[in-house]
Amino acid sequence: MGVSKLDILYRRLLLTKLFIRGWGRPEDLKRLFEFRKMIGNREKCQNLVSSDYPVYIDKIEEQSDCKILDGHFVSPMAHYVPDIMPIESVIARFQFIVPKEWNSKYRPVCIHLAGTGDHVGHGYAKRKTTPKIENLKQKPHEDKCWEEIHQNEVQLKKRV
C-alpha cells in the first residue's frame, strides 16, 4: 500500500516549526472548543463585541489619492479566552485605507490587519501595493456589485 497525500501533508506539518511544542495544553484546547461553540451561534456571536468597542487611531497619513489610518484595538478574544494568545497578539493592529474620491454610492475601503510583529518594520509595506489602492477607485461596473451586496444584507436582516 502506498503513502497517501494526506499522510505526506500530516508528516510535513509535524516537521515544521509550527507544531514543535505540540497543539497546546489540553485545557486551552477545551477552552477554544467551548469558545468555538459560542461563536458558532449567530445570535450570540453578533453580541460578543459591542458597536462602541474601543478602537484607537494612532496616526493619520494624507496621500494624494487616499487617507491611511493606522490604529489598534485589544483583541476581543483576549476578553473571552484570556491567556490563550501570545502577548504579542493581544493588541491587534491595522491600517484602514480610504480613497478621497470614489464613483459609487458606497465608499470602498481596504483594511490591512497586521500579523504578529508586522506593524514594526516593513510588514504593511509587503501588502501595501498600488493595485490595492487602485482597486479602491471604483469602476462603474462595480457599482452593481456593491448594490447587490447591500440588497443581500437588507434581505438577511429582514429574515432575522
- The strand ranges marked E within 75-133 are 91-99, 110-113
Amino acid at 115: G
Q: Which three cell numbers stand for residue 90?
A: 493581544
Residue in this structure with the C-alpha cell 493595485, named with its chain if needed: 131
Average pLDDT, the chain: 74
What is the domain partition of the chain in residue ranges?
Answer: 1-48, 59-159
Q: How many CA atoms lie within 13 A of 104 on its CB side?
A: 20
pLDDT tens readout for residues 132-157:
555 555 454 444 445 555 555 555 55
pLDDT tens readout for residues 100-111:
888 888 888 888
Question: Is residue 70 very low, low, confident or very high in pLDDT (cuts 50, 70, 90)?
Answer: very high
What is the percent of the chain with per-residue pLDDT over 90, rounded to a whole number?
16
pLDDT tens readout for residues 115-137:
755 555 445 554 554 445 555 55
Q: How many CA atoms lie within 13 A of 54 on its CB side?
A: 5
Separation between Cα atoms, residue 88 and residue 95, nearest integer Å? 17
| Cα-trace Rg, the chain | 21
Mean of pLDDT values over 40-64? 90
pLDDT at residue number 105: 86
Mean of pLDDT values over 43-65? 91
pTM of the model: 0.60
Q: Which three cell numbers stand for residue 128?
A: 501595501
Separation between Cα atoms, residue 155 and residue 49, nearest integer Å? 23
Using DSSP's 3-state secondary structure scheme, residue 130 falls into: helix
Separation between Cα atoms, residue 14 and residue 81, nearest integer Å? 26
